[in-house]
Amino acid sequence: MFAPRTSFRIPLPAGRFLDLGERTLVMGILNVSPDSFAETSTARDVDAFVAHALQMQADGADIIDLGGESTRPGAELVSADVERDRVMPVVEALAGRLRILLSIDTSKAAVASAALSAGAAMVNDVSGLHRDPELSHVVAGAGAALVLMHGRGTPKTMNAEAVYDDLMADIAGELRESVRLATAGGVPIERIIVDPGVGFAKRPSHSYGVLARLPELAAALARPILVGPSRKSFMREAVGGRPASERDWGTAAAVTAAVLGGAHIVRVHAPAAMVQVVRVAEEIRRHHR
């Protein structure tokens, strides 16, 4: 379970780099969609979102991942115009105030282009480039990093597609195709991060299997790994049916497994708590012989 973690240097715009491998980085989730599955806040104004992002930075997050479209099971996809109108005021308000990396969580080239032009340095695509092929060209042109997540279908159809012959081999093969699409679109391989998509087109047993077998993915793809288990429904039964907003203890267990399994980045809703979890898990890794 104490898997080795290869080091990578990910090039970013403006000659910057994201160094991965020395420790697991914490990516804080900033949802500006009105139907997030995991948060109960009703605050919708830009100032509140900016304050949340700055607080996550103060709490020790290394990256902020800003998204304007819900990807919860059953969610309706929105247009690029709607998504852009949600995220861009926040991106622009954070410009010059955020010391850490800003990632834009989108599958749409138009949204990514606007956010990257305004200061974002990474695109997190939950579709693995299967919704908007133009996205790879936008990322390539901006010199940004790209996260490719494994999933199938849309939020409305993904649960029906959670059928695997060999879980990790199938995920690795499908992510390999996403990497191929990215490089064919001009994104250099050294800018690509992969995400096995815990909770996306996966039954609970699949999500637990991914967390238990992360080293297999690292070995198959030789790319840095991002894991996003935060508050997801795969842990619902294990935590006694608690709603998403009360699953941080379960998330802590999943984050620990990800760190021990060699994850380079964990994506979470509560960085203040999860930074502590990651640091302790890192100490356990450091003392393993």
Active site residues: 232, 267
* Bridge partner list, 225: 194
Strands (E), the chain: 8-11, 17-20, 25-31, 63-67, 101-105, 122-125, 145-149, 192-195, 226-227, 265-268
Structure tokens at 258: 């990800």
Q: Is the separation of the CB atoms in 177 and 223 below 8 Å?
A: no
Checking DSSP bridges between strand 17-20 and strand 25-31, what pairing results, if any? unpaired
Structure tokens at 61: 């997050």
Measure the CA–CA gap between 119 and 274, rounded to whole angstroms. 26
Q: What size, in residues, is the chain?
A: 289
Q: In angstroms, how far is the first alpha carbon of the chain from the final one?
A: 12
The closest alpha carbon to 66, from 18, 16, 119, 14, belongs to: 119
Residue 201 has φ and ψ, to the nearest 5°, of 50, 40
Measure the CA–CA gap between 160 and 73, rounded to whole angstroms. 11
* Rg of the chain (C-alpha set): 17
